[in-house]
Structure formats: structure tokens, C-alpha cells
Amino acid sequence: MNIDFELLAKKMIGQTVPKPSSGTLSGHAAGEPFDKLVYKFLKEQLPQNTFRQYEFLNELFLANPQVQNYNERVKLIGTPTISYLLSRGKEPTNKWKPDKLFEEKQNDTADIVVSDKDFIHIIDVKTRNMSKNAQAPNIISASKLAGACSVMLDNNDFDSFDINYIQVDWILEDKNLVCTNITKADLFKSNPEKLYINWASAMQIQFHVNELNQNYNGDKKNWAKEYLYHFTQEATKRSKYMINEYVIPYEKYTKSVV
Amino acid sequence: MNIDFELLAKKMIGQTVPKPSSGTLSGHAAGEPFDKLVYKFLKEQLPQNTFRQYEFLNELFLANPQVQNYNERVKLIGTPTISYLLSRGKEPTNKWKPDKLFEEKQNDTADIVVSDKDFIHIIDVKTRNMSKNAQAPNIISASKLAGACSVMLDNNDFDSFDINYIQVDWILEDKNLVCTNITKADLFKSNPEKLYINWASAMQIQFHVNELNQNYNGDKKNWAKEYLYHFTQEATKRSKYMINEYVIPYEKYTKSVV
């Protein structure tokens, strides 16, 4: 089940969405309608297989009414790593009912899920205002990704999914935002040791999709190990940085307190 | 120069602003127009003394055209702590010109500055949707506050300013947000050891203004010392937590990498 990204790019480039009436043109909100357009065009390509993440879970649970508790519902979702990445919390999953469907949630891992019997493409859409030199966006929690890597390694679960990021470039033209380009990057084809973790910003991995290297040659098993090595090294560095930056400079003031 | 908060509350309660046309009702954006209303009513009370932070800086620099470099402009702002809290960065301050005024910035310390000759009230406005049980909002960076405390202690600068938070409670009624109550809290009257620091969320101190204790009996000098003690203790805890949570659990996977 391959996604034709070239076809998607052809459809997207030149598309316009209205400029938001309020708020700034920086940040997520301005380009968000483009995410819905990407979804629409992928759905046209693969109508039976393309879902928003919450839709994917709703359809799965609706199709399996006999499965009613958390552990079994989570198993429905897919392999252990897919379940780890796409499931909702224990309580919401237990409480899910056909008349109380999941709704879209901002911190879902995926914007879009393209699902085949044996393979799931997890897709996240990022939008980028090309007239501004903005900070790289939040991609995924570094600790959530560490958890996913450990689940992959514990279960030898390397061939059931990939994680792709699609960047929609846009510029402002009069009252519209116009899509000028589309780029795509495969997380597991990027060098895990180069991923930037912003610890102060909810431990998010941050990059511009079009700037992500795609030269990694190892397999997913090596990727997971190397990412965990990188993550633990960076966490150790950050832990030391906190002492040097936030404790030692203030010790002279605090001695008299205790 | 005292602010009449009771008068402000009288004016604010019952005020309405239109429900935002897009976006969720959680978060900062929905209630933001109330911040502008608070400003308007304070400006009515003290027209000569009430400014947005960027206006305060603009008027100060406009009134002192002979002062043109960073160090001297920063001194204009006030005592060392006031300068530390209200100044912009070195480059923007150097580049400031009468025809290139500062604009509002989201991470300014203050929403509103009420300035007298000898004293400055730094005021931040928070809005709270009372129909939701939302997370406490970001108040101020814990490390920025640590910096301010060290400047206070280095310069014996305790009597030139205070920091107040005003919370505007609102509920949704039809197509409007209605202000139902106003509460105020003085940062230096709250117990510094009770302040919650959310390290993962940009190291922000978080609280609901109406829930902040106001029983602290010490003076600002003690407050600054006790806050720095609290801050360094919490930073040390967080530093250890990172090793326990993000390093040790993954060590078994990373041994074979190196």
C-alpha cells in the first residue's frame, strides 16, 4: 500500500486557504487548514485506507463491538508499537462507546493514519510559513519516541509501520495562504543521533521537515538502539546542565536560608 | 500610587467580549480581549501612569532621545531589578528608534505597567474559563524569577516594585464570554516554597491566581532567598528525576551500541 507523494504534491501546490481573520500568522493555527487538505487528497488516493487517527480508532472499535476492555481494544489497534503510538489513555479507551466516539485530540501522535492489513503509515502534517524564519516545530515527544523504541526492541516489532512527516510550505498572497511546495521525510531514514531535543519545550524533538537528513543506512532495529543511546546521552547532558545553570550560580544566596 | 482593585472589579464584572469565531475555548486566546479591558479600566483610573509594557519602554526612550545605547537605555527603565524584568534584548534595545518602536511581545514579563516616580507595579492578566477544569496557566519563567531574585539581593533592591496577577473569570453565554469575577494576587505575598515549577513546560511557574496563597509574612529580601532555595532544590530534584526516568530505564538497550 504505497502512498503516491508526487501525486499529492501535484494536487497540493497552488492550493489556497483563507488567511485566518484573527491571531498571528506564526505558529500552528494559520496553516492548519492545509492539514485537512492533505488528508482530503490522501483520502481520494486511498479511500478505504485513509483515516484521521481518532477515526481509525472509532472505526476499529465500531467494527469489533464484542471487544470491550482496554487491553483487548489496544490489541486491536495493531502490533505493540502501533498500539503504543496510536492508543488513547486507559480510561477513555475503557469508556469508549458507539455513542461516545473519540474526537480529534491535539497531542495525538498522527494527523493521518494510512492502514493496510499488515502495515500502517503514521503521518503527521506540518505547515511552514516560508516568509518567516520561524523556529522548527514540535515533532514528537522525545520520551514518547524513546518508549516506542523500547517497545520495538522488546517485541522485535520493526516491519509493521513507518512514521512520515509532510511539510506544507505556504506564503501569504493577499487574503489567502498559498501552498508553494510539499516535502516529505521518513523519521527512520534520518540519523537518530542528529535529532534535536528541546527539553524545555515539553521534551519535543524539533525539526523542519525539509531540513531533515534522509541518509541513515541502518535498519529500524539499529535506529531504535541508536536513538535510545542519543536520548539517554542528551538526558544526561541536560541533567548536568540544570545543575550548572540553575543550582550552582544561586548557591551563594541560599546558604543562609537553611 | 495605589491601584483601586475593587473599582476595577466593579467595572469588569458583567463585561462581555465576543466568543472567538474559530479555535477552542481553552487556552490563552479565548479570554485575551479581557486583558485589553483590564488595561482600559486601569488606564481610566490612572491615565498618566498606566502603560502596556512596550508602550512604557517606547515612551521612556522617546522622552530621552539623547540616551542611545543599551546600557544607558536599560538604566532609564528603573532599578536593576525593574530593568532586568522589563527590558528587551540587547540588540532590539540598541536598534530602537523613534520610527521603529517596540511592539507587543508575547513573552514580555508584564501585560501592564503602572509607573510612579519611585515605584512600579508590574501586572499580568490571566483569564480563566470557569466552565472548564483547565490546567493552571504559565505565570513566569522560574529561571527568569531566579535571575530577578539574585539581582534584588545583589542590589538591595526590594522596595521599588511589586508583581501582581489579576485573574479574569469568565463563562460562555450564547455568543459571548462574560466576566463573572476578578481576583488579584501579589507574588511576594505568596509562600515561595509552595510555587509549582513545570520544568517540561518551559520551566514555567504555574498557578491559578485565585488559588495562590497570600499568607507569606516575610519581607522581599527573605522572599528572594527562600525562592532561590526552593528553585535550586527543585532544579536538583528535576535533574535527578531525569536520570531516573529518561536514562536508567533505557540503559539495557544502549549497552550494545557503544
Over residues A103-118, the mean pLDDT reads 88
Query: Of A32-46, A101-115, A221-235, which gets the smallest average pLDDT?
Result: A101-115
Judged by CB atoms closer than 8 Å, whether chains meet at B232 and A246 is answered as yes
Q: Which residues contact A91 (CB under 8 A, 6 or more apart)?
A: none
Percentage of chain B exceeding pLDDT 90: 83
pLDDT of B40 over the 90 cut: yes
Q: So what's the pLDDT on residue B27? A: 56
B30/B214: higher pLDDT: B214
Residue A19 pLDDT class (50, 70, 90 cuts): confident
| CA–CA separation, A256 and B7 (whole Å) | 42
What is the pLDDT averaged over residues B160-186? 95
Beta strand residue intervals within chain A, DSSP E: 16-18, 50-52, 112-115, 120-129, 138-141, 161-173, 176-186, 197-198, 204-206
**What integer pLDDT is reported at residue A163 of this predicted model?**
97
Q: Is A258 on the interface with B (CB under 8 A)?
A: yes
More confident residue, B23 or B64: B64
pLDDT digits (tens, 9 = 90+) for B103-114: 988 778 899 999
Within 8 A by CB and 6+ apart from A43, the residues are A50
Average pLDDT over chain A, rounded to whole? Answer: 92
Whole-angstrom Cα distance, residue B209 to residue B186?
9
Instruction: Inform me whether the C-beta atom of residue A138 falls under 8 Å from chain B C-beta atoms.
Output: no
User: Is the model more confident about B25 or about A161?
Assistant: A161
Q: How confident is the model at residue A29 (pLDDT cuts 50, 70, 90)?
A: low
- A24 pLDDT exceeds 70? no
Closest partner residue to B225 among A201, A240, A256, by Cβ?
A: A256
Give residue B63's pLDDT: 94
Tens-place pLDDT, residues B132-144: 888 899 999 999 9
DSSP, collapsed to helix, strand or coil, labels residue B119 as coil
Higher pLDDT, A31 or A12: A12
pLDDT for residue B8 is more than 70? yes
> For cell 502495515, what's the residue?
A119
Choose among A23, A149, A258: nearest Cβ to B29. Answer: A23
Q: Say what the pLDDT of residue A96 is.
A: 94
Higher pLDDT among residues A163 and A106, named by residue: A163
pTM, entire model: 0.87
With a cut of 70, say whether residue A211 has pLDDT above it: yes
Q: Nearest residue on chain A to B203, judged by CA atoms?
A: A200
Other C-beta atoms closer than 10 Å to the C-beta of B247 total 18
A62 lies within 8 A of chain B by CB = no
Please check the confidence at residue B12 and state whether its pLDDT lies above 80.
yes
Q: Give the distance from residue A9's alpha carbon to the nearest chain B alpha carbon, in angstroms.
A: 27
pLDDT beyond 90 at A98: yes
Residue B26, pLDDT score: 59
Q: How confident is the model at residue B29 (pLDDT cuts 50, 70, 90)?
A: low
Residue with cell 458583567: B14
B22 part of contact set with chain A, CB < 8 Å: yes
Model confidence band, residue A22 (pLDDT cutoffs 50, 70, 90)? low
**pLDDT at A170 exceeding the cut of 70:** yes
| ipTM of this complex | 0.90
Q: For chain B, what is the radius of gyration of the CA atoms? A: 20
Contact: B253, A225; criterion CB under 8 Å: yes
CB atoms within 10 A of CB B180: 16
**pLDDT of B218 over the 80 cut:** yes
**Alpha helix locations (H) across A115-161?**
142-155
pLDDT band at residue A106 under the 50/70/90 scheme: confident
CA gyration radius, chain A? 21
Instruction: Name the E strands within B97-160.
Output: 112-115, 120-129, 138-141
Q: How far is CA A251 from CA A243, B141, B222, B231, B233, in A?
A: 11, 19, 15, 11, 10
**Closest-CA residue in chain B for A204?**
B200
Q: What is the mean pLDDT of residues A159-171?
A: 96
Predicted confidence (pLDDT) at residue A257 exceeds the cutoff of 70: no
Residue B258 has pLDDT above 60, yes or no: no
How far apart, in Å, are the Cα atoms of A58 and each of A74, A87, A100? 12, 11, 9
Q: B9-28 burial, b if ≥16 CB within 10 A, otherwise e?
A: bebbeebbbeebeeeebeee
